[in-house]
Amino acid sequence: MTDNKQNVTSVDNIAVRFTGDSGDGMQLAGNIFSTISATVGNDISTFPDYPADIRAPQGSLTGVSGFQVHIGAEKVLTPGDKCDVLIAMNPAALKTQYKFCTSRSIIIVDTDSFKENDLKKAEFQTNDPFEEMGIKNEVIAAPITSMCVEALKDSGLDFKSSVRCKNMFALGLVCWLFDRNVPYAEEMLRQKFAKKPEIAEANIKVLNAGYDYGHNTHASATTYRIESANATKQKGVFMDINGNKATAYGLIAAAEKAGLKLYLGSYPITPATDVLHELSKHKSLGVTTVQCEDEIAGCASAVGAAFGGALACTSTSGPGICLKSEAMNLAVIMELPIVVLDVQRGGPATGLPTKSEQTDLLQVLFGRNGESPMPVLAAASPTDCFDMAYMACKIALEHMTPVVLMTDAYVANGSAAWKLPKLEEYPAIKPPYVTPDMKGSWAPYQRNADGVRYWAVPGTEGFTHILGGLEKDSKTGAISTNPENHNLMTHLRQEKIDKIQVPDVEVLGDKDDAELLIVGFGGTYGHLHAAMNEMKASGKKVALAHFKYINPLPKNTAEVLKKYKKVVVAEQNLGQFAGWLRMKVDNFVPFQFNEVKGQPFAVADLVKAFTEIYNK
Amino acid sequence: MENITYEAKDFKKGQPRWCPGCGDHFFLASLQKAMAEIGVAPHNTAVISGIGCSSRLPHYMATYGMNTIHGRAAAIATGCKIANPKLTVWQISGDGDGLAIGGNHFIHANRRNIDLNMILLNNRIYGLTKGQYSPTSPRGFVSKSSPYGTVEDPFRPAELCFGARGHFFARAVATDAAGTVEILKAAQAHKGASVCEILQNCVIFNDGTHASVYKPEERKKNAIYLKHGQPMIFGENNEFGLVQDGFNLKVVKIGENGITEKDILVHDAHCEDNTLQLKLALMEGPDFPIALGVIRDVEAPTYNDAVEAQIAEVSEKKKYHNFQELLMTNDTWEVK
Ligand code: SF4
């Protein structure tokens, strides 16, 4: 490290993992790093890894919080299986996060927090954690805390506040390592701490100190440049957005487009709560959020709000769906539009609250009494949450039905650069309202050509009517137990859902001559796509069909699934989507890849498993 | 509002299918009469029920309505009122629907003080499922699901309402049209959650449960009509009154032991402190009369008004008012 000559290596993508105590500000450092990279035209994908405990003791193994940022010249599909740089602000972070390193990863540690006591808290037996863990990587060991405090000695900031800035020292060091634009990071800090300029300036000072430290000491023999691929670069105005926020934005956009008030009935539940947080901020857009007494009331009040004429939504995770299914079913029989958001987490029961799975699919498709058809959509990525939330609202309102939008903890918390949408480019949303000429002849279950009943909002004169959970006569809307009528209504409700038009599923990759078709749905898109790319790069003929519309399935589903010699359905459950496809497509017998670890798929594992199937 | 006047028949629809003599018939007629007198148009009225005998009621109303699922009426009505605050929303529940399976929604609607007229038709039995004890059945009550008598104490609806910080509680007997219409109108006049307990007889499974007050002559003897600002006098010849005795209430005879009308307590339904109102609401025979009328009616901010006020206030302060403006509140960058 004393070599004065600095090597600069060009790379096309890097993954950096910021880790430390939950109070160490690793999320902020990671966030700034990803945003400044995005501003120069790199693609980004990020994923936070929250600690299991809310306030674990400082320095303990359960209190480690991480934030992985993947930056690339071309499209970045996942946050990365492993990282190229690990920043470990304390021994606990090193111990728990080293598993994300390869033999080539650079590790940056704060030597000030690797003292005997710190090592003890992280349950190390010796004074050399690297030796103890057998780590042979390049390590940049810098006294980050003390240099941070030193940089701020004349700032007037007290010791505690000074130490708080140490995440910026680490960020500065990483900025130097990857030749990132520091002035833009300064700008972001000034905005973030607009109300406390002295804090902003302190952070900026430490950020520069970190950068200079790298520069002056040649902390690493090599620094890196990430090319930005100008040819493929998408132009426009961008922001960084995670899936939960994108979902909230999609609901807001749809309400505005439909000209309706947005109502959210919700109950706090990990990992869906941020949607409630986000929507509750936007009162100036007329958004009403009610934090209900329970999950049941969250959904039931949404049904009431839909009856009242709002775009009504309820947000939850799998355990909440269990409780909401009763009111979801009521919306099925009353044919009222509501959007039910299921941010999936590990189950069953309380399961793994902060972890990600795709295990609610059959629950949302079938988990209700009676024949209870319901459209189901699944978002493929953090930014796709916006489009899918918008489409969920459109389908609900235009087809007078509850719709389930599935996301998961991974897409909900993961973020990516998002090109700001233009609302005028999105399709119109036109609910089938009753019209004045229907007065006198209208009945609640009269249907249009799509089999959809008309919507008469209370307050409209001449359309008073009653809806309810009991079966109704298809013509008069009165309670009916007539066997023929029940049979007819059951079919009508099913046909209404079957008639919904959804886009065809797209086949990516070697769509004409693939030996293996990879099939998935929802939040695994990035990982499956990356796996396909890797296999193609090694000369294999592979394609990917990734589903976002689960019920009804796209019209070309059977055609696509039958076209290829081998098909593997890969999902984070024990085969729920494969089962659903087999129910819908005759003689479809796919290979399956199922993994339920609560973690996103690792691309390397996928490639290995798919290659085995490929070679069979 | 509209300059149209309504009659009870404007709110009527269909032929009720309750058992002949069921208290629900009487209540329905009173509700329709009250609505006509209130004068809100049927199309601006929503009647929302759960499940149970009494929850069939919206089917007989010429208003907007929903006969929903068991226990959820208060939650569904809450969403409806918030989405469409101009509507007058009535929630109809029985004792099982409102206090057992829907107990949580009942207390929270009261706590939030959402502007709903919450009707609780209390017959102390599950009628629709053919006769099981309910959360208001008295201890020891023998029913199909308690052949040896229940071993649990009942809820007293007023106690729940007050415990949930309810601001309006009234009681009427289903067969007493005048008394019912009066409390329904008071419930509508009250802004916020208004609970009306209707003592309703189930002729099939719990006949006589409210016998002491079900007929006018019995009511004369065993009930007291409370009116804000009026002395608490009752009895066939208005010979009895209520006075305070330490922390308790006491029945006295006017003219005996030097008691005059001046000594009798005067009902204060508007008193913020609900201690005395609760004592009145919990009175039971044979030692005390059963309190009817508006027992508590205290003004307080309503949830729905507060929601609207907050939206107006925040809208005033914030600089973004549509989706495109919302986008620009984020840190953005341009790739050229
Ligand atoms: S069972 Fe009882 S409550 Fe039900 S309709 Fe008959 S009398 Fe009324």
- Considering the four listed CATH numbers 3.30.70.3270, 3.40.800.20, 2.40.50.100, 3.40.50.970, the one that applies to the domain covering B8-214 is 3.40.50.970
Query: Per-residue DSSP letters for A121-148?
Result: HTT-SSS-HHHHHT--S-EEEE-HHHHH
| Three-state secondary structure call for residue B198 | strand
Q: How many Cα neighbours within 13 Å face the side chain of A326?
A: 18
B50–chain A Cβ distance below 8 A for any pair: no
| Alpha carbon B137 to its chain's center | 18
Residues comprising chain A, all counted: 616
Nearest ligand 1 atom to the CA of B205 is 2
Mutational test site, ligand 1, from B17, B203, B206, B210, max ligand atoms within 8 Å of CB: B203
Residue A283, token pair as written in the block: 């009162």
Residue A552, token pair as written in the block: 């009804």
A365–chain B Cβ distance below 8 A for any pair: no
Identify the pLDDT of residue A2.
Answer: 40
- Considering the four listed CATH numbers 3.30.43.10, 3.30.1490.20, 3.40.50.150, 3.40.50.920, the one that applies to the domain covering A507-615 is 3.40.50.920
Chain B: closest CA distance from residue A265 (Å): 8
Mutational test site, ligand 1, from B15, B24, B28, B214, max ligand atoms within 8 Å of CB: B24
- Mean pLDDT is lowest, of A52-66, A70-84, A421-435, B119-133, for A52-66
DSSP assignment letter at A197 = H
Asked if the model's pLDDT at residue A21 lies above 70, the reply is: yes
Helix (H) or strand (E) holding A281, with range, is: helix A273-281
- CB within 8 Å: B75 and A191: no
> What is the maximum span of chain A, computed from C-alpha positions, in angstroms?
90
Q: In 10 A of CB B298, how many CB atoms? A: 18
Q: Which of B311, B323, B325, B336 should we substitute to test contact with A (largest number of A Cβ atoms within 10 Å)?
A: B323
- Per-residue pLDDT tens over the stretch A534-569: 999 999 999 999 999 999 999 999 999 999 999 999
Chain A: closest CA distance from residue B317 (Å): 8
**pLDDT mean over A445-454:** 97
User: How many Cβ contacts (< 8 angstroms) between chains A and B?
Assistant: 205
- CB within 8 Å: B323 and A252: yes
Tell me the C-alpha distance between A378 and A247, whole Å: 11
Helix (H) or strand (E) holding B241, with range, is: strand B240-245
Asked if the model's pLDDT at residue B5 lies above 80, the reply is: yes
According to CATH, the superfamily of the domain at A240-425 is Thiamin diphosphate (ThDP)-binding fold, Pyr/PP domains (3.40.50.970)
- CB within 8 Å: A308 and B42: no
- If we measure between CA atoms, which residue out of A167, A205, A177 comes closest to residue A89? A167
Identify the pLDDT of residue A546.
Answer: 98
- CB within 8 Å: A288 and B105: no
Residue of B nearest to A31 (CA): B331
Tell me the C-alpha distance between A312 and B68, whole Å: 17
Residue of A nearest to B57 (CA): A466
DSSP assignment letter at A24 = G
Asked if the model's pLDDT at residue A4 lies above 80, the reply is: no
**What residue has token string 């010699």?**
A565
**pLDDT mean over A577-605:** 97
**pLDDT mean over B20-25:** 97
Asked if the model's pLDDT at residue A291 lies above 60, the reply is: yes
- CB within 8 Å: A263 and B69: no
DSSP assignment letter at A586 = T
Query: Helices marked H in A402-524 — which ranges?
Result: 409-413, 483-498
Domain spans in chain A, listed from the N-terminal domain onward: 3-226, 240-425, 432-501, 507-615
pLDDT interval class at A361 (50, 70, 90): very high
Are the folds of A240-425 and A507-615 the same?
A: yes
Dihedral class, residue A477 (left if φ above 0, else alpha if ψ from -120 to 50, else beta): left
Identify the pLDDT of residue A1.
Answer: 38
| Alpha carbon A533 to its chain's center | 21
Identify the pLDDT of residue A351.
Answer: 94
Chain B: closest CA distance from residue A111 (Å): 34
Asked if the model's pLDDT at residue A227 lies above 90, the reply is: no
- Mean pLDDT is lowest, of A43-52, A605-614, B32-41, B96-105, for A43-52
Query: Helices marked H in chain B — which ranges?
Result: 23-38, 73-83, 95, 103-112, 157-163, 177-189, 211-214, 216-222, 275-281, 303-317, 323-327
Nearest ligand 1 atom to the CA of B123 is 3
Q: In 10 A of CB A181, how many CB atoms? A: 13
- Per-residue pLDDT tens over the stretch B176-221: 999 999 999 999 999 999 999 999 999 999 999 999 999 999 999 9
Cβ neighbours of B42 in A, within 8 Å: 464
Identify the pLDDT of residue A96.
Answer: 95
Cβ neighbours of A302 in B, within 8 Å: 79
A462–chain B Cβ distance below 8 A for any pair: yes
Task: List the end-to-end C-alpha distance of chain B, in Å, as a whole number.
Answer: 57
Cβ neighbours of B324 in A, within 8 Å: 422-423
Using an 8 Å Cβ cutoff, are A532 and A543 in contact? Answer: yes
| Three-state secondary structure call for residue B11 | helix
Using an 8 Å Cβ cutoff, are A258 and A45 in contact? Answer: no
- Per-residue pLDDT tens over the stretch A328-348: 999 999 999 999 999 999 999
Q: Which of B47, B80, B107 should we substitute to test contact with A (largest number of A Cβ atoms within 10 Å)?
A: B80
Nearest ligand 1 atom to the CA of B206 is 2
- Per-residue pLDDT tens over the stretch A134-167: 999 999 999 999 999 999 999 989 999 999 999 9
pLDDT interval class at A223 (50, 70, 90): confident
Q: How many Cα neighbours within 13 Å face the side chain of B105?
A: 31
Mutational test site, ligand 1, from B25, B123, B137, max ligand atoms within 8 Å of CB: B123
pLDDT interval class at A229 (50, 70, 90): low
| pLDDT over 90 percentage in chain A | 89
A33–chain B Cβ distance below 8 A for any pair: no
Identify the pLDDT of residue B153.
Answer: 98
Q: Are strands A507-509 and A542-547 parallel, antiparallel or unpaired?
A: antiparallel
Residue of B nearest to A302 (CA): B79
Q: What is the pTM of this model?
A: 0.95
Mean pLDDT, all residues of chain B: 97
Q: Which of B18, B48, B57, B72 should we substitute to test contact with A (largest number of A Cβ atoms within 10 Å)?
A: B72
Q: Give the type of residue at A521.
A: F
Ligand 1 proximal residues by C-beta, below 6 Å: B 18-19, 22, 24, 53, 123, 127, 202-205
- Which residues are paired to A172 by β-bridges? none
Listed by number, the residues of chain A in 177-206 with a beta carbon closer than 8 Å to a beta carbon of chain B are 188, 191
According to CATH, the superfamily of the domain at A3-226 is Pyruvate-ferredoxin oxidoreductase, PFOR, domain III (3.40.920.10)
- CB within 8 Å: B79 and A465: no
From atom 8 of ligand 1, which residue's Cα is the shortest distance away? Answer: B22
Asked if the model's pLDDT at residue A407 lies above 90, the reply is: yes
DSSP assignment letter at A421 = P
Nearest ligand 1 atom to the CA of B54 is 3
A191, A236, A330: residue with CB nearest B68 = A330
Listed by number, the residues of chain A in 278-297 with a beta carbon closer than 8 Å to a beta carbon of chain B are 282-286, 288, 290, 292-294, 296-297
- CB within 8 Å: B64 and A464: yes
Give me ligand 1 centre to Cα B133, in Å: 14
- CB within 8 Å: A464 and B42: yes
Asked if the model's pLDDT at residue B112 lies above 80, the reply is: yes
Angle in degrees, CA A102, A232, A547, rounded to 5 = 75
B190–chain A Cβ distance below 8 A for any pair: no
Asked if the model's pLDDT at residue A82 lies above 90, the reply is: yes
Domain spans in chain B, listed from the N-terminal domain onward: 8-214
| Three-state secondary structure call for residue B94 | strand
- CB within 8 Å: A39 and B333: yes
Give me ligand 1 centre to Cα B126, in Å: 9
- CB within 8 Å: A285 and B78: no
pLDDT interval class at A234 (50, 70, 90): confident
Give me ligand 1 centre to Cα B145, in Å: 17
From atom 2 of ligand 1, which residue's Cα is the shortest distance away? Answer: B202
Asked if the model's pLDDT at residue A3 lies above 70, the reply is: no
- If we measure between CA atoms, which residue out of A614, A504, A531, A534 comes closest to residue A567? A614
**pLDDT mean over B26-45:** 98
pLDDT interval class at B335 (50, 70, 90): confident
Here the ipTM equals: 0.97
Mean pLDDT, all residues of chain A: 95
- Per-residue pLDDT tens over the stretch B254-306: 999 999 999 999 999 999 999 999 999 999 999 999 999 999 999 999 999 99
**pLDDT mean over B156-185:** 98
Using an 8 Å Cβ cutoff, are A575 and A583 in contact? Answer: no
Query: Per-residue DSSP letters for A531-570?
Result: HHHHHHHTT--EEEEEESEEESPPTTHHHHHHHSSEEEEE
Tell me the C-alpha distance between B205 and B200, whole Å: 12
